[in-house]
Amino acid sequence: MQTGKGLRVRVRGKGVPPVSRCREDRIEVASSNKLLEAIVPWYQLNDANDPKLDELSRKYNLHPLHLEDARSPDESVKVDTAPHYTFAVFKPVRLVPDPDNPGEQTPTFSAIDIFAGKDFLITISDPTCPTTVQALDRARRDGDDEHPGKLLSLILDTIVDLYFPAIDHFDDRIDDLEDKVFDNPSPEILQSIFAIKRELIDLRRVLVNTRDASLHLQRDPNTIIDADHQPYVRDTYDHIARLLDSVETQRDLLNNTLDIYLSSVANRTNEVMKVLTVLGTIALPALAISGIYGMNLKGLPFEDSPHGAAWVAAVTIVATVLFLYLLRRFKWL
């Protein structure tokens, strides 16, 4: 018998009747059908509003709420289990130029929706997102067409691994802010601190939801992830825990940077006030003497002297120098 793989099988044995040509053809067709059934079809859509999704929904009996979630642009990361498939929404991250801060990059998120059943796989993603493209390419390269659960775990693992460059990006930005806050604490630094804090809040929210989704894949026995692929999901869960620890550490560093900024601004204000106080103290003897002579009182020293102005100026200078000496003596300057 000639099978679909080019393997010829002969049935021999004592008392075994020979296989007829017609029977060989039936065995060949049955073997080919089994090979086709083992290959799970993968449908890749670029838009959730594609009419093809409605056709697949009728074919594989997809739940209307899952279709609504897939078509919602603001849907959060989640995993839901239906009787015959698993629905998942993930948020890959990528770095794009920041329009409000030229020369800097900011993280942004795209959605990838997955319907994974035992006999089908549907993915809906943005083809312009390099993170999504990389995740799907790895699933095609390292996965197989017989286990949609493995394809789902590979997509999730790649998405989580690509969060690490975003964490490194935040580390570099925080290091630069720490250097600038010591050299020149300006209002622009304060704006950058609050901008990074907002971005970290968004990143943490996505990571927390992704952690809950991976935990759901581990604990729910009805998901498409079987026992053979559970270790890969647990490894992904450990990566998410590390990412969340890094985000918390970065938030603490930002709070410390903000405290340093406020302390630096307060110190600069104190220095300005100190200079103004010294200037006012130096001018105090001159103001006092000129105020007394400016009241036109009778009997003041040097009032009738032709050199009275010179004497008053000399007394003012001596009093000012004496005042400065006392301030130095008491270490107030």
Judged on CB neighbours under 10 Å (0-12, 13-18, 19+), 38 is exposed
**CATH level 3 topology of 39-267:** Methane Monooxygenase Hydroxylase; Chain G, domain 1 (1.20.58)
Q: Which amino acid is at 196?
A: I
What residues contact residue 40 under an 8 Å CB cut-off, 6+ apart? Answer: 118, 119, 120, 121, 145, 146, 147, 148
Which residue ranges make up each domain of the chain? 1-38, 39-267, 271-329
One CATH from 1.20.58, 1.20.1300, 1.10.287, 1.10.3470 for 271-329: 1.20.58
With a threshold of 0.85, does the pTM exceed it? Answer: no
Q: What is the pLDDT along the chain (333 residues), one digit of tens a residue?
A: 433 333 333 333 334 344 444 333 433 333 333 333 457 899 999 999 999 999 999 999 999 999 999 998 888 999 999 989 999 999 999 988 887 777 788 889 999 999 999 889 999 998 889 999 999 999 988 877 678 888 999 999 999 999 999 999 999 999 988 888 888 888 888 888 998 999 999 999 999 999 999 999 888 888 888 888 888 899 999 999 999 999 999 999 999 988 888 888 888 888 888 888 878 877 877 888 777 777 776 767 776 777 777 877 888 888 888 888 887 888 776
Common-topology check for domains 39-267 and 271-329: yes
